[in-house]
Amino acid sequence: MQLSPERCRPMSLTASEIKEACSANSDEMELLHGSNRLSSPEHVRRRVSGNSSAEGSPRICRQQSFGRDIGHAAAETYLITRLSFNLLGYLGVGYRWITRLLALACYAMLLMPGFLQVAYLYFFSSQVRRSIVYGGHPRNRLDLYLPPTNDGLKPVVVFVTGGAWIIGYKAWGSLLGLQLAERDIIVACLDYRNFPQGTISDMVSDAAQGISFVCNNISAFGGDPNRIYLMGQSAGAHISSCALFEQAIKESRRESISWSVSQIKAYFGLSGGYNLFNLVEHFHNRGLYRSIFLSIMEGEESFEQFSPEVRLKDLSVRKAAALLPYITLFHGSADYSIPPEASKTFTDALRAAEVKAELVMYKGKTHTDLFLQDPLRGGKDELFDHIVSMIHADDSYALRNDAVAPPRKRLVPEFLLKLAGKVSPF
């Protein structure tokens, strides 16, 4: 990857830090207090551009000590470890999960050369703004991945990570965020409450609030509020699709809203499941036991509410479906974590409701091939190229730059990637 860390860079942006740096600027204080909407987006865009130094560093950039960087890294590592033990605690530690844990440890060790490179950039790159607060609940944070240049407003991807609804975390999107930023695309990776800290309604609410924050405030960071794309992977695809549907239903009923579905140019669902009725037995057989799954999803009586595919059968939802953006679903044909049939049936349901939808199936790809192994491999990546081409479809200048962009750097040797694929528990 082309990103390089700098000594002067923005770290986790807390309210006190931004207040100290920007106390004289009422627009920035509006971002912190009151609603998510900036009072004058045009003015803020001019200010962000005008206050940049010759090297392109924003005014809120401050010198940070190496010791503080290590402190942030340690805190993030502790959280990831705690989430992993939470997962094990709720799934049990029987023979099946001991073997899966060992397989997961081997899988992570084999991919560690790539993970370490990505982690270094995540913690130390000047192009990453970590832990921006978007709401008042725990885990209401997002990471921003910014392109190296600030010449005009950039398209934006709001990304909701996966994690079996239990270990989802915003840093899981760092590889995607860093690589899309190289192509002049801003990425906002949302964190959200996981089970048992929250259940599915909390997760969907958090995702919707994070999307609202981005829609209303991204211009302050150089993003184009008219070119926002929503994307989710695995459980994140389920959560983000539920948030999108819920927002469309609110709009169709003329309820009060803080963001509009019309602000989302397209939705990308990667390896997701959209019908809980069809997934409960599958997950039970793979170790996400029925009792836990029902607790996460607030009981079987809530399955319909949190199954976008099923909701499309309700005639009262058809009016809301007409508000949905173009939807593209991506899935690997060898995905055993969430069967590819999940994306096929959802695409059929969307088309039956006259929603413009496309299904892209990748032959022989597993649940982690598309999101981890292929990006770590570097070079040409069909999924990555497809997403970038859709985002840049109306930008001839960006398309020309994409055509001559250097191949992405390989982060993990091929033999390690193949071994990781063999031992993957996913």
pLDDT (tens digit per residue) in 225-250: 999 999 999 999 999 999 999 999 99
pLDDT in tens, 196-207: 889 999 999 999
CA distance 391 to 174: 19
The confidence score (pLDDT) of residue 86 equals: 62
Confidence (pLDDT) at 316: 81
Which residues lie across from 162 on neighbouring strands?
Answer: none
Q: Is 12 annotated as catalytic?
A: no
Highest mean pLDDT of the ranges 8-17, 100-109, 168-177, 314-323: 168-177
Q: Is 218 helix (H, G, I), strand (E, B) or coil?
A: helix
> Lowest-confidence range among 45-49, 117-121, 133-137?
45-49
Spot the catalytic one: 125, 126, 205, 234: 234
- Could you say which of 143, 184, 206, 335 is catalytic? 335
- Tell me whether residue 234 is one of the annotated catalytic residues: yes
Weakest-pLDDT range from 95-104, 160-169, 273-282, 352-361: 95-104
Q: Encode pLDDT of 337-370 as tens digits.
A: 999 999 999 999 999 999 999 999 999 999 999 9
Identify the CATH number of the domain defined by range 95-423: 3.40.50.1820
Share of the chain above pLDDT 90, in %: 66
Q: What percent of the chain has pLDDT over 70?
A: 77
Catalytic-residue membership of 335: yes
Neighbours of 369 (CB within 10 A): 22
Say how far apart CA 180 and CA 57 lie, in whole Å: 20
Question: Catalytic pick from 205, 212, 337, 367?
Answer: 367
Query: Which residue type does 275 have?
Result: N
For residue 326, give the amino acid letter.
Answer: Y
pLDDT for 71? 66
Q: Where are the domains of the chain?
A: 95-423
The stretch 186-213 carries a mean pLDDT of: 96
Number of Cβ atoms within 10 Å of the Cβ of 17: 14
- Residue 35: CB atoms within 10 A of its CB come to 12
Distance CA 138, CA 193 (A): 7
Query: Per-residue confidence at 92, pLDDT binned at 50, 70, 90?
Result: low
158-169 mean pLDDT? 93
Secondary structure (DSSP) of 55-104: T---TT-EE--HHHHHHHHHHHHHHHHHHHHHHHHHH--SHHHHHHHHHH
Q: What is the pLDDT of residue 9?
A: 40
Please name which of 133, 233, 235 lies closest in space to residue 174, comparing C-alpha atoms.
233
What is the model's pTM?
0.81
